[in-house]
Structure 1
């Protein structure tokens, strides 16, 4: 049997708008996609908090300088002293930079400052925050916690560096090797968990800057 469709009727059918999409709650697939998207978003947000554990500039400087000052792991007394100085300076930098913060001026320029008990002290002195706004940036106890965690994470990064380990422990025992292998992982896991639970709101020097 042949079914003939008139040209006018066929053209009218082609011009009909598509059916409206079902509401979000109308299907189980839509609900599942929403839950998955929320889980992925939460995971990315938690991972972003972990990026604040260590200033990027300090980590980059350490990775670039460590092969030079350690003589690629073959240390003499002079290079060992230089390696100790590099580790101490980078650890101190990781701690102090946790007390820096930044904000955007009305013109859109990013200005950095140091957190104090009375607010934010602008480093270059180009502007001054009003008291009601400066109170948001004042020094808090959690800043010290983040500073300590940042130093611990840097210590884990230093222990993962083969040149630094070879400089201080050229021939470690089996027990020492186990500690040197497991300790950075333990430090990283514990500090990551603490930082996710107690995230920072600061965007200081060397840390990711907010787009707001």
Structure 2
């Protein structure tokens, strides 16, 4: 009897010592649903990481304070800033049509997507016809290119130096547009990009693992 009491006390002591372990037991079906939801969240975040080429954004953020003279623009610096925004926007648009693959040596080769396949930039190799069809230009590529330009425009409108350069004394209506429009563009384009993700790994985007 004394032995049973000691065993019972020991069991109660363990339950008091580790109360959370008893509540952490999750049914297998529920755990599977949680894992699927987490995986989908991580995949969506990964798709958003592909939205803009990093080189174009970094170049803009680096040169913006210089070209805008920290937001104090004259006619020359305003023209240079407009050229910088246009050039980086064009870069975001064009780089959405690039893709990459690994050759038989394991080297990464870059090219531009065409309606006939992938045109390798350096001409070091040629893809077989059946493999080149995988990289063919599609309508969704134009959709991603337009979204990338819109997202870059939102980033440019968030840059205070650029805003001060083109709108040194904005009205209340202009200030509202400059505040809310970039947020709206970012949310809408991010949702569309999650629903219609890209499978390209072009210049300035994460490298292909193929």
**TM-score, normalising length: structure 1:** 0.86
Q: 2:139 aligns with which of 127, 141, 148?
A: 141
1:119 and 1:83 map into 2 onto residues whose CA distance is 36
Secondary structure of 1:136's counterpart equals helix
Aligned to 1:95: 93
2:105 and 2:142 map into 1 onto residues whose CA distance is 32
Q: How far is the alpha carbon of 1:208 from its aligned partner?
A: 1.2
Aligned to 2:40: 42
Secondary structure of 1:195's counterpart equals helix
- Deviation track 1:10-45 (CA, whole Å, cap 9, x = no partner) reads xxxxxxxxxxxxxxxxx7433333222211110010
2:46 and 2:170 map into 1 onto residues whose CA distance is 36
1:78 and 1:116 map into 2 onto residues whose CA distance is 38
Secondary structure of 1:53's counterpart equals coil
2:174 and 2:103 map into 1 onto residues whose CA distance is 51
Give unpaired runs (5+ residues) of structure 1. 4-26
Q: 1:150 aligns with which of 145, 148, 151?
A: 148
1:107 and 1:206 map into 2 onto residues whose CA distance is 22
Give unpaired runs (5+ residues) of structure 2. 4-24
Q: How far is the alpha carbon of 1:56 from its aligned partner?
A: 0.4
Q: 2:189 aligns with which of 191, 197, 201?
A: 191
**TM-score, normalising length: structure 2:** 0.87
1:175 and 1:198 map into 2 onto residues whose CA distance is 33
Secondary structure of 1:154's counterpart equals helix
Aligned to 1:160: 158
Q: How far is the alpha carbon of 1:2 from its aligned partner?
A: 8.3
Aligned to 1:116: 114
- Aligned length, in residue pairs: 189
1:30 and 1:92 map into 2 onto residues whose CA distance is 50
CA root-mean-square deviation: 1.4
1:80 and 1:208 map into 2 onto residues whose CA distance is 33
